[in-house]
Amino acid sequence: MGGFEIEVWGATDVGKSRHENQDSIFVASPALADIGATQLRCNGVLLAVADGVGGQIGGREASQFVVESLADGFYGILAHDVESHLLQAIWRANEQAQQQVSSKHSASTLVAAVIQDDCLQIANVGDSRAYFVREGSIQQLTQDHAIDGRLMRYMVANQAADPELSPKIPLEVGDKVLLCSDGLYKAVEDVREIGRIVTERSPQAATEILIDLANQNGGPDNISVVIAEVRPQSPAFRFSRLNSWMSNLLSL
């Protein structure tokens, strides 16, 4: 990953109004049994947030299968082209989730990011979002696939996945990437406040503050936040800086 280190953090919370957390997140880590230094170096750092469609039976199951299948597919084969590799992994994840999820009415959103070769690639299905923060300015990278609150694209629900790719972004030291479910941005409507918190705080601190703020504003939905920060590479770079503490899904 060039001359950069990537520091990442992620968490998901049930919120104040839901009885079950239907969100799932994934953060790449060498602590995973099937992800080592070679996969991370060749394929990049994969981050993902999936939101089981609210109220649907099996929404939690759908989001979990989506991120699990995505990670397995993305790291199962070494990538030659990250853009096409990410798309293929999303398509395969959708097909596998359709076969494994018990409820045929289940669905999920997905926003996935890959940081590789000093570049950021984003793909999304649904209304979970990706934001890019540079020098205190925040920009939404994804478009919501929803009309009047109704999702027009989603994973699993017996249809082919239709992911949208955002333009690839060359990264600089200090850049930050935020992935989140709608439980964050609908509860914290001031995107400038989100950008300020992400800019001023470490990924861990910003994640915790944003989830707390969404809950202070009522926490009407599940809240998921994943943040990555680009840092200069230290002389003794170790992949453990990818936060091996976070090696699996969090669904509280």
pLDDT in tens, the chain (252 residues): 557 889 999 999 999 999 999 999 999 866 554 677 788 888 999 999 999 986 667 899 999 999 999 999 999 988 889 999 999 999 999 999 988 887 777 899 999 999 998 999 999 999 999 999 999 999 999 999 988 878 889 899 777 789 999 999 999 999 999 999 999 999 999 999 999 999 999 999 999 999 999 999 999 999 999 999 999 987 654 444 444 334 344 444
Write down the pTM of the prediction: 0.90
Q: Which domains does the chain have, with CATH numbers?
A: 4-242 (3.60.40.10)
Round to whole Å and give the CA distance between 206 and 99.
37
Q: Which two tokens stand for residue 115?
A: 């940081």
State the Cα angle at 39 between 203 and 229, rounded to 5°. 15
Round to whole Å and give the CA distance between 161 and 11.
25
Q: How far is CA 183 from CA 60, 168, 198, 225, in A?
A: 15, 26, 17, 9
